[in-house]
Structure 1
Amino acid sequence: MPILNRAAELQAELTQWRHHLHQNPEILYEVHNTAAFVEEKLKEFGVDEVVTGLGRTGVVGVIHGRAPGNRAIGLRADMDALPLEEMTGKPWASKTAGRMHACGHDGHTSMLLGAAKYLAETRNFNGKVIVIFQPAEEGGRGALAMVEDGLMEQFGIEEVYGMHNMPGMPVGTFAIRKGGIMAAPDKFNILVKGRGGHGAEPHNTVDPIVIGSQIVGALQVIAARNANPLRSVVVSVTTFHAGTAHNIIPEDAHLGGTVRSLDEKVRSLAEKRIGEIAHGIAAANGAEIVFEYERACPVTVNHPDETDHAAKAAINVVGPSNVNTEVDASMAGEDFAFMLQARPGAYIMIGNGDTAGLHNQAYDFNDAAIAYGVSYWVKLAEQRLTD
């Protein structure tokens, strides 16, 4: 079944909205202009109820079906951009220095707005569709903020669904899997406290650089020898700062990095082992360690039944050959995980074509994907509220 005719008709208008959002990126919770744009459009569509300020700057729209019904499902899009300098050279490139939509949230917002417009026009469902526009997905836990503000309870949401574009997947395709689809993206910091001195007299020091280097190497044992090889984990040291001069052994060394996991037990194992390894190596060399571990958001876990519902909607739009229901999980993180902890639901990928990767200065959302995204949201809403 092809994309909706109405979605194709809206393509040019939605592309204009997407370009406007792309030119005016905002980050984290400071998405005031974006939220105002979304609010204005929802009211223009005749959405029954528009609520602002949920999760600080989130926007929620309530669309009633032709028959009242008691059921409500949530459809979520993220609104925030990234602190990057755009290098696309596109006519609609960011007008704000140091900020750009490098993850496609401008496209996500535009697709959900298009679906809201269509659903408000047709109302071919029973119950309520809740369209959720979330701030601060990029490291700010905006999904959690909305959940803690009572999103699910206030609007009676029974199921919740999310969607993200994926470079490298052809436009007109979707991908999903049951269980963990996105990793828990944790952070760690290690301060090695040694004893500095002259570079010509290392025997009179406790060299934090040597100790830190040993820690970097030893941490690779976690994935290679500590974790079950069937349970993926990534431990990457991504920062190492120490020293100010060629002839001085410094007092301290600072290491930092990320842990990515798809299993809560492996996540806890990695946290425990990083601390043990760092403390052990430091103690063996006469140094001290300050270890900090930050759990960002959980594993994004798709619920089985809701994954089937999402896949069915995608198949209704692009056909079974264009929907991968067993895609490999990604080690990137996604705070939609908090919403999936609050309610059953599923997270699906939509093809963005042969574009630069996410979080890349050359990335741009592919406008050709818009009609497919709108059609998917509409099919999912109508399917779940008429079955």
Structure 2
Amino acid sequence: MNLIEPILAQAAAITQLRREIHAHPELCFEEVRTANLVAAKLTEWGIPIHRGLGTTGVVGIVQGRDGGKSGRAIGLRADMDALPMTEFNTFAHASTQPGKMHACGHDGHTAMLLAAALHFSEHRNFDGTVYLIFQPAEEGGGGAREMIKEGLFEQFPMEAVFGMHNWPGMDVGKFAVSTGPVMASSNEFKITITGKGGHAALPHNGIDPVPIGCQIVQGFQTILTRNKKPVDAGVISVTMIHAGEATNVIPDSCEIQGTVRTFTFEVLDLIERRMKEISEGVSAAFGAECAFEFLRNYPPTINTPYEAEFCRRVMAGIVGEANAVPQEPTMGAEDFSYMLLEKPGAYCFIANGDGAHRGSYEGGGHDAGPCTLHNPHYDFNDDLIPLGGTYWVQLAEAWLGHQPPADRPMPGKA
């Protein structure tokens, strides 16, 4: 493994920053303490900053040995927010905020980019500019979208943008990246069927919305099996059905809610259209009214081909060809997708291991629970800090040290 020695030498100090962030988690758009820590460190290291995009976002501006005169630039992004859940670990750096926890490793993402920032401040081995994007509100708040709306790419023009997420279950020392969709779109729906309530013993006097809702839910599965191409991925999950208050009363209404996940906009368009047609059509057939709501949250995360392959070559130079592996697409969602709609780039995974690293903590403080994402037993593996920092530095130096082809594919709907 080819780690950058100065980053390795600073790993213990960055680890302490990571654990400080972990102990003080903040939810989306509330990352004031975390943003202050990031801003203070960047300033201490002589890196100019811009604050306030997306409410609490921080952008560090690192100019190379040419003072940025080349006009070329690359963006590196890390998210900062935590999740609204209670941590079960009791080690020394466990959350001090009840109901808040860094259960997805954004504390580690911030730390890896800080490790790269410290190295950049001392070794500017590139011509151009590296923008260090510390983003708020990935966990449902759409912080990337908000930073873009407020002028991220206008104020900090860059040729490409890159992101990274830790991935539990993969052996430490591996990276994963692939071309095309790597994370799904995230969408929500709410369907309200309004019938005519009445006595359960006299169903002929009313319009029962419950069997109508059952028909609709069953009908949704035909979208996946009969409307969508079998080779295209798509998931419709009905997760909530609410109706009625008493066993002998036919309710006036029935409410159905759930999520939809797809890797492409075309499949998403198809599913939304057919869900609406089925919901309204079935309701009308039984004499009921239907209100259909569909909320598109995060779009699919789609890596552009040239940038994904470029990342893979950088990874292979650090950990070897065998450890730079294809990225298996996941139905999880990620708001870095908004950045990849605007700029070419790639979102990769860095292996977080199986959780055994928690056994090295002085005094213990964790139990046998799984170290998986969004789990109360999770903790970021600090061994990744020098590896992730090395990747960020070598990626930026390699990108700014070559000229990408002008005719390479740009972002677009997959």
Q: Is 2:7 the counterpart of 1:7?
A: yes
> Could you tell me whether the CA contact under 8 Å between 2:327 and 2:349 is conserved in 1?
no
CA distance, structure 2, for counterparts of residue 89 and residue 215 of structure 1: 46
Structure 1 residues 115-160: Cα deviation after superposition (integer angstroms, max 9, x where no partner): 1011111111111110000011111111111111111121221110
Instruction: Give the alignment of 1:149-298 within 5 angstroms.
Output: 149-298=150-299
- Cα distance change of structure 1 residues 277 and 90 upon mapping to structure 2, 3 Å threshold: farther
**SS of residue matched to 2:183:** strand
> Could you tell me whether the CA contact under 8 Å between 1:190 and 1:254 is conserved in 2?
yes
Question: Which residue is equivalent to 1:386?
Answer: 401
Structure 1 residues 234-289: Cα deviation after superposition (integer angstroms, max 9, x where no partner): 11111111122222221111111111111111110000011111112111222111
1:7: Cα distance to partner?
Answer: 2.2
1:379 maps to amino acid: Q
CA distance, structure 2, for counterparts of residue 218 and residue 95 of structure 1: 47
Give TM-score scaled by structure 1 length.
0.97
Question: Which residue is equivalent to 1:40?
Answer: 40
1:92: Cα distance to partner?
Answer: 1.5
Q: Is 2:117 the counterpart of 1:116?
A: yes
Task: Compare 137-146 and 240-249 and name the one that shifted more.
Answer: 240-249
CA distance, structure 2, for counterparts of residue 51 and residue 276 of structure 1: 47
CA distance, structure 2, for counterparts of residue 90 and residue 152 of structure 1: 40
CA distance, structure 2, for counterparts of residue 362 and residue 223 of structure 1: 35
1:226: Cα distance to partner?
Answer: 1.0
Question: Which residue is equivalent to 2:29?
Answer: 29
CA distance, structure 1, for counterparts of residue 248 and residue 61 of structure 2: 66
Question: Which residue is equivalent to 1:377?
Answer: 392
Task: Compare 100-109 and 148-157 and name the one that shifted more.
Answer: 148-157
The unaligned stretches of length 5 or more in structure 1 are: none
CA distance, structure 2, for counterparts of residue 9 and residue 59 of structure 1: 25
1:315: Cα distance to partner?
Answer: 1.2
Structure 1 residues 198-220: Cα deviation after superposition (integer angstroms, max 9, x where no partner): 22222222222222122112111
CA distance, structure 2, for counterparts of residue 364 and residue 253 of structure 1: 41
> Could you tell me whether the CA contact under 8 Å between 1:316 and 1:379 is conserved in 2?
no
1:5 maps to amino acid: E
Structure 1 residues 175-202: Cα deviation after superposition (integer angstroms, max 9, x where no partner): 1110111111111111111111222222
Question: Which residue is equivalent to 1:348?
Answer: 348
CA distance, structure 2, for counterparts of residue 263 and residue 163 of structure 1: 21
Q: Is 2:62 the counterpart of 1:63?
A: yes
The percent identity for this pair of structures is 49
CA distance, structure 2, for counterparts of residue 203 and residue 167 of structure 1: 55
**SS of residue matched to 1:126:** coil
Task: Compare 353-362 and 119-128 and name the one that shifted more.
Answer: 353-362
CA distance, structure 1, for counterparts of residue 401 and residue 395 of structure 2: 10
> Could you tell me whether the CA contact under 8 Å between 2:178 and 2:309 is conserved in 1?
no
1:16: Cα distance to partner?
Answer: 1.0
1:365: Cα distance to partner?
Answer: 1.3
CA distance, structure 2, for counterparts of residue 359 and residue 217 of structure 1: 30
Question: Which residue is equivalent to 2:334?
Answer: 334
> Could you tell me whether the CA contact under 8 Å between 2:327 and 2:348 is conserved in 1?
no
> Could you tell me whether the CA contact under 8 Å between 1:71 and 1:128 is conserved in 2?
yes
> Could you tell me whether the CA contact under 8 Å between 1:104 and 1:365 is conserved in 2?
yes
> Could you tell me whether the CA contact under 8 Å between 1:55 and 1:145 is conserved in 2?
yes
CA distance, structure 2, for counterparts of residue 357 and residue 277 of structure 1: 37
CA distance, structure 2, for counterparts of residue 359 and residue 273 of structure 1: 32
> Could you tell me whether the CA contact under 8 Å between 2:18 and 2:111 is conserved in 1?
yes
CA distance, structure 2, for counterparts of residue 371 and residue 268 of structure 1: 42
The unaligned stretches of length 5 or more in structure 2 are: 356-370, 403-414
CA distance, structure 1, for counterparts of residue 332 and residue 151 of structure 2: 27
Structure 1 residues 10-48: Cα deviation after superposition (integer angstroms, max 9, x where no partner): 22112111111111111111111111111001101111x
Q: Is 2:324 the counterpart of 1:323?
A: yes
CA distance, structure 1, for counterparts of residue 91 and residue 207 of structure 2: 53
**SS of residue matched to 1:330:** coil
1:67: Cα distance to partner?
Answer: 2.0
Structure 1 residues 68-124: Cα deviation after superposition (integer angstroms, max 9, x where no partner): 322110000001111111123332111111111111111100110111011111111
**SS of residue matched to 1:165:** strand
> Could you tell me whether the CA contact under 8 Å between 1:188 and 1:292 is conserved in 2?
yes
1:376: Cα distance to partner?
Answer: 0.6
CA distance, structure 1, for counterparts of residue 8 and residue 145 of structure 2: 34
Count of matched residue pairs: 385
CA distance, structure 1, for counterparts of residue 8 and residue 226 of structure 2: 52
**SS of residue matched to 2:332:** strand
CA distance, structure 1, for counterparts of residue 181 and residue 154 of structure 2: 25
1:103 maps to amino acid: C
CA distance, structure 2, for counterparts of residue 282 and residue 358 of structure 1: 39
1:57: Cα distance to partner?
Answer: 1.2
CA distance, structure 2, for counterparts of residue 199 and residue 73 of structure 1: 65
Q: Is 2:96 the counterpart of 1:95?
A: yes
CA distance, structure 2, for counterparts of residue 381 and residue 269 of structure 1: 39
**SS of residue matched to 2:103:** coil
CA distance, structure 2, for counterparts of residue 239 and residue 358 of structure 1: 23
Deviation >3 Å, runs of 4+: none
Task: Compare 263-272 and 14-23 and name the one that shifted more.
Answer: 14-23
RMSD: 1.2
